Structure 1
């Protein structure tokens, strides 16, 4: 597995992040992340801005090349089929998040209706269970994605424990954050672009 690719991609997706957050999300050891980050900074691919990591222009070029090389080793027919299946469950998840954030389509959810929130969380439980076989297919096709099952499980555990911010809150490794980042990984692995997916109504 290419640690350099994993780290560059996560730094790109997060905008600015810390080495500790990268380690937590990728499952790599802190020492491994620190070592690779030093190499990336020395090579001018990443900037360390007071502990916040940011991808440079050269870093984006390198990341694009690494993803293209990774894609060559992935069965594209199987990836295309898996991405098609993902698009269906992605639509379900997007609607779930919308319903979590809004009530009656346009009223912000103030989360005072416990029964309403519980119903949405119950739907998330169903998505989580139904999605697992497809997620396993995806991780078999691209081993770099093997960090995602643990991330989804961890976020759902926090939600079950009563901290509902882990469903869709930004800037933490919430269920939605992991989902968004997985979608971005799949777009790259399938040889697509976010602009194409947004035009098709499939990008978040």
Structure 2
């Protein structure tokens, strides 16, 4: 089956949680909504940090994340894979521009230097939406990027690249890493 709509495939909550941690590395418990049961405790680790508790994967969790992602990826046929690779190519065409804008912003932290991210998103919003529709684990990225853009438009410049927020750069980077993990698991 070709995945053309997220409703075509049901993904267990555990698979989503494992995958999210594999992509992000660590997620604050305030943003990690998966309930770790005693049976799943060997897959997840919780650590106390100065910023609060963080969830991560154990080595067994990393292995489970890979196995469960492979199971999801087996549902994508050749045409679906070709579409995902096409979308990855389009995304990567914009990646250099995004990095240039963020670098320019970091040199001169101003609204004028942040504005090109809003423009870039406007140009590639359709691609981002198509990416979300192409693979069910990517369905949350468009809203996260739109929220970062709205915050930028509201003058909140930390939403350009702060690693402590769902900033534009952070979410863009996670989507890129996510797409790479998926295409490498075929």
What are structure 2's unaligned runs of at least 5 residues? 1-10
SS in 2 for 1:47: strand
Partners in 2 of 1:40 and 1:90 — Cα distance?
40
TM-score by length of structure 1 reads 0.75
Over 3 Å counting, the alpha-carbon distance change for 1:40 and 1:76 in structure 2 is farther
Choose between structure 1 and 2: higher helix proportion: 1
- Choose from 73, 76, 87 the match for 1:82: 87
* 1:181 equivalenced with 2:142 (yes/no): no
1:82-101 aligned within 5 A: 82-101=87-106
Alpha-carbon shift at residue 140 of structure 1 (Å): 1.4
For the Cα contact (< 8 Å) 1:2–1:144, is it kept in 2?
A: no
Partners in 2 of 1:127 and 1:167 — Cα distance?
12
Alpha-carbon shift at residue 68 of structure 1 (Å): 1.6
What are structure 1's unaligned runs of at least 5 residues? 23-32, 103-108, 112-116, 193-204
- Choose from 163, 167, 172 the match for 2:165: 172
Partners in 1 of 2:164 and 2:147 — Cα distance?
15
- Choose from 131, 153, 156 the match for 1:163: 156
Partners in 2 of 1:77 and 1:141 — Cα distance?
10
Over 3 Å counting, the alpha-carbon distance change for 1:139 and 1:13 in structure 2 is closer
Alpha-carbon shift at residue 39 of structure 1 (Å): 5.6
Partners in 2 of 1:172 and 1:94 — Cα distance?
17
For the Cα contact (< 8 Å) 1:13–1:181, is it kept in 2?
A: yes
Partners in 2 of 1:19 and 1:38 — Cα distance?
15
Residue matched to 2:66 = 64
RMSD after superposition: 2.1
- Choose from 39, 46, 59 the match for 2:44: 46
Residue matched to 1:200 = none
Deviations 1:123-146 (A, max 9, x none): 111111111111121111102211
SS in 1 for 2:140: helix
Which gives a bigger RCO, structure 1 or 2 (Cα 8 Å, sep 6+)? 2
TM-score by length of structure 2 reads 0.81
Residue matched to 1:197 = none
Partners in 2 of 1:17 and 1:189 — Cα distance?
20
